[in-house]
Amino acid sequence: ERKTKLILYYLLIKHSYNVNKYIRKANLVAVKKLLKTFENPKKFFDTKEAPIASNLLFLSSDIMMHLY
């Protein structure tokens, strides 16, 4: 195995609790904002109608990139 790959595995195992905590918090923020969009669409759009479709971006991969 390459040394860099082994180092990444070590970091993932060592810091997995912290990574999971950050991922959970970031994903919760994204879901709460999506729910606000459906509860109060007038705040985000010109009409009072809820959106038909929504695209939700979870920040899990971004957090992983910044940590490693």
Q: Which residue has the higher pLDDT, 12 or 46?
A: 46
Range of the domain at 39: 3-67
CB 19 within 8 A of CB 63: yes
What's the rounded Cα separation, in Å, for the pair 21 and 59? 12
The pLDDT tens digits of the residues spanning 14-63 come to 777 776 777 778 788 888 888 888 898 888 888 888 888 887 777 666 66
Number of domains in the chain: 1
